[in-house]
Amino acid sequence: MPTFIALPAFQDNYIWLLTDDTSFKVTAVDPGDARPVISWLGRHPEYQLSTILLTHHHRDHTGGVLSLKAATQCRVLGPDNPTIDGIDRTLADGDQINLAGQSIRVIAVPGHTLDHIAFFCDDPQDPWLLSGDTLFAGGCGRVFEGTPEQMHDSLQRLAALPDDTTIYCTHEYTQANLRFAQAVEPENPDIRIRLEVVEDLRRDGQITLPTTLALEKRTNPFLRCAEPAVVEAASRQAGAEVSPGAETFAAIRAWKDIF
């Protein structure tokens, strides 16, 4: 089981490092900026960057790839998108890779971008997911390239993973996401309590990640599009009755975009 380390980047990104304390090899996930990774490696000379994993092509996730590859000769794995420079192996839905002795499955999750993939480790003792910009703590990514239907289907794929899956996403958006979740479900006590905890963490400058799938299912409106309260709120916002599922998702995603 790797150790997960969050490196802050830009205003609200996290670059996740996965360290293998047996081989002293490191995997960097979505390094939009090379500097935080190089700085960490400089402070931990016993570790070697061996792999970069990419979830999608946005520059704040790929901008540091070529510098890191030049400095470390690491291998780069990511989606099949020719606009991403430096990829050594392209990955598609269902592919398997090995990290720190664990088998990782690639899951295609189009919506935020058409090339977006996620990485899932189905270790029965400690499953985990690198969700990129598809599933956030308390929210989900904007639909830039795909359709709301695609994004909803992608989130449903992730929601079908084990409830005890630990989720490592790539932005510190939790507080804003939960404020929106509370607007959607003002009577949901799980959202209220979680928002209070998150506000305390952010007041102290602390990270709010990782999260778990079980917690997301109780507090993330984008995973609750079949819940009557969410459907009702979406219908009010849309000004017309919407059906549970993809229609509700589309209505609350459009609402969140202007929230």
Q: Which amino acids are annotated catalytic?
A: 56, 58, 60-61, 112, 133, 171
Answer yes or no: is 60 a known binding residue: yes
Closest CA to 16 of 151, 133, 106: 133
- How far from the centroid of its chain's Cα atoms is residue 13's Cα? 11
Closest CA to 156 of 92, 242, 220: 220
For residues 201 and 187, give the distance between their C-alpha atoms in angstroms, rounded to a whole number: 23
Q: Are 20 and 44 in contact (CB under 8 A)?
A: no
- How far from the centroid of its chain's Cα atoms is residue 176's Cα? 16
Answer yes or no: is 56 a known binding residue: yes
5 has which bridge partners?
A: 17
Answer yes or no: is 61 a known binding residue: yes
204: its two tokens: 């102290």
Residue with tokens 């959607």: 184
Answer yes or no: is 58 a known binding residue: yes
Helix, strand, coil shares of the chain as percentages rounded to 5?
Answer: 35, 25, 40
> From start to end of the chain, where are the E strands?
3-9, 13-20, 25-29, 48-53, 75-79, 89-91, 96-99, 102-108, 117-121, 128-132, 135-136, 139-140, 166-169, 211-212
Binding site residue list = 56, 58, 60-61, 112, 133, 171
Binding site residue list for Zn(2+) = 56, 58, 60-61, 112, 133, 171
